[in-house]
Amino acid sequence: MKKSDKEIFMEAMEGVKQLKNNKIIPEKPQPKPIPKQRFLDEILVREEMLADNHSYIETGDELSFIRPGIQNNILKKLRRGHFSIEAELDLHGMIARIARLEVAKFLRQCQDYDIRCARIIHGKGYGSWQKQPVLKNKLNKWLEQHSEVLAFCSARPMDGGTGAVYVLIKHK
C-alpha cells in the first residue's frame, strides 16, 4: 500500500516541536557605506589650501630662502655652488600630492644619511596643462615648512637653473 503525501509528511515531522512564535525576525539593515576615500581627499585638499600660500612664481623667477638665524653668506655659497650635491630628487611628471610625499621622504632620507646638500628638480612647468610651474610654486612653500631645511635657492644654469633648487639640510 502506497502512503499518501500527508502520511509521509507526518512521519518526517515526528519529534519536531511546534514553534510558539511564527513571526519571521527581519535581519538588521546594513549600515550605509562610509565614503572614506572622499573624506581623505577632502582632508588633503584642505591641507593643501592651508599649507600653500598661493603666491605665484613665474617660470624664470628664482627661488631663495634662508631660515632665520642662518648667516647670509651660507645662502651665497649655496647659490654659487660651493657645496657638493650629494643627492638628487627629480619631480618631473609627478602630480602635486605625490610630489609632496616624495619631497618629505627625500628630506628624511637625506637627514638619515647625513646628506648636507641636495638638488631637487621641479622643472619649469612646460609640461603642465597651463604651461606654468605648478611644482615650483608648491615646492617653494613645502621646503619652507620643513624644519630640516636650512636654506634653498634656484640652481646654477648648468644644474637646471630655475627648474631646480639646491637644498641645504641641517645635520641630524
Domains and CATH numbers, the chain: 36-169 (3.30.1370.110)
Mean pLDDT score of the chain: 84
Q: Which residue has the higher pLDDT, 29 or 103?
A: 103
Q: The C-alpha cell of 54 is what?
A: 598661493
For residues 108-127, average pLDDT: 89
Closest CA to 136 of 158, 147, 120: 120
Predicted local confidence at residue 52, as pLDDT: 47
Predicted local confidence at residue 32, as pLDDT: 83
- Of the listed ranges 7-11, 41-45, 75-79, 143-147, the one predicted with least confidence: 41-45
Integer Cα distance of 11 and 30 in angstroms? 40
**Residue 150: exposed, middle, or buried by beta-carbon count in 10 A (0-12, 13-18, 19+)?**
buried
Predicted local confidence at residue 172, as pLDDT: 79
The whole-model pTM stands at 0.66
pLDDT one-digit tens code per residue, 2-55: 889 989 998 888 888 877 777 777 788 887 888 888 777 777 766 665 554 545
